[in-house]
Amino acid sequence: MPLQFTFDHLFGGKNLSGNALVSIVSAGMSKFGRREGLYGRELFVEAASEAFERCPNLDPQKDIKAAFIGMMGESFEHQGHTGPTILDWIGLLPTQAFRTEGACGSSATAIRCGIFAVLSNLADVVLVGGVEKMTHRATADVTEYLAMACDFPFEQWNGLTFPGLFAMVATAHMHKYGTTEEQLASVAVKNHHHGCMNPKAHMQKEITLEKALSSRVVAWPLKLYDCSLITDGASCLILTKPELARKFTDTPVHIIGSGQASDTIGLYERRELTSLKVGKLAAKEAYRMAGLDSLDIDVAEVHDCFTIAEIVAYEDLGFCKQGEGGRFVEEGQSQIGGKVAVCTSGGLKSKGHPVGATGAAQAYEIFLQLTEQAGKRQVKGAEVGLTHNVGGLGATGVVNVYSRG
């Protein structure tokens, strides 16, 4: 109820169905991958430069009134105070800057803050995005830093990390619904195929079902190719009021629904292990605002940090019934040309997962799809898109629905 009150109050109690909350007039993303010799701030310069170049009618210093930057933590680069640091490097000082943190959902929460800022009339144009520089750290260090997004005394302290936690979700799903290792691997095969068509993806490499199934076990049943990549990258969007969008571009993309929810940080506190409640709740709110449902979605970027997470997302978002996510991917329903094209960018699995940048990078892909700039991976006739970004193991969840301008 608090979320519904907030948006309805801002609109004077009007029915929001079909109305744009904000419009995306430009977007940018760095190349994802192992970006040696660069700081995160330099990666953000790449993303912001693309966004500014895409929108020549925008005067960044004059028009942008606030910036919201998502980043998970200081440990990777021993650097905090991200907001003004980024703005200094992209030439937007003295614009007000804010850092948002929601673990792997950090830049999705930045988008939400940007929506709030525009709807509240505090800023007509805002920059939102995120960044993370991770690959210069040892895998053990990255695993430790990421584990800070799960519960310390009852999970971290006892040696649990995210591969182990998502393995619990996978085994629970397998036990309850009969989901198979082959179905998990099918997510990886699909997303690697999509990622091969994305020049900004970290891993542009096809894999076979056999290769995925024979890769080494990380935390059974999750194997190497069931796990997302440690990646460097940055992404950003320019948001404005819908009535101002045509001032900046002839092809805006509108955010027509947005939802966010929270849950317990510890998996051990959950009543159900086979679903992430935040995804369901955030989707319900986003669909309500948009006046749409799951059948209306043409293309979606979901949080496939592990292959089981994508299968769970299908079900939580209503793309298929509970327990049928494994069959959904196995039957090709989530590939380009299927019922709904999911993770056309390659997803976190192939494109990469620089945690602070992921949520805005998902929106970047939807922006490309709905403006028909996605190249070889373009979903023909795509008019409605969705992003689903999860922080931690579902302690934070953000879902946005988008429409072509």
Kindly list the distances between the CA atom of residue 62 and the CA atoms of 55, 58, 285, in Å, as whole numbers in the listed order.
14, 8, 34
d(Cα 63, Cα 308) in Å, to the nearest integer? 42
Label residues 156-176 b or e (16+ Cβ within 10 Å = b): eeeebbbbbbbbbbbbbbbee
Q: Are 26 and 248 in contact (CB under 8 A)?
A: yes
In this structure, the strands spanning 22-29 and 253-262 are: antiparallel
d(Cα 294, Cα 187) in Å, to the nearest integer? 20
Other CB atoms closer than 10 Å to residue 68's CB: what's the count? 30
d(Cα 233, Cα 34) in Å, to the nearest integer? 9
Q: Are 111 and 66 in contact (CB under 8 A)?
A: no
Bridge partners, residue 99, by sequence: 69
Q: Which residues are catalytic?
A: 104, 353
Kindly list the distances between the CA atom of residue 209 and the CA atoms of 225, 296, 307, in Å, as whole numbers in the listed order.
10, 30, 13
Residue 388's closest CA among 343, 323, 324?
343
d(Cα 290, Cα 218) in Å, to the nearest integer? 39
Phi first, then psi: what are they for 389, rounded to 5°? Answer: -125, 130
Bridge partners, residue 385, by sequence: 299, 402
Label residues 374-403 b or e (16+ Cβ within 10 Å = b): beebbbeebebbbbbbbbbbbbbbbbbbbb
Label residues 322-361 b or e (16+ Cβ within 10 Å = b): ebbbbbbbbeebbbbebbbbbbbbbbbbbbbbbbbbbbbb
Q: Are 350 and 194 in contact (CB under 8 A)?
A: yes
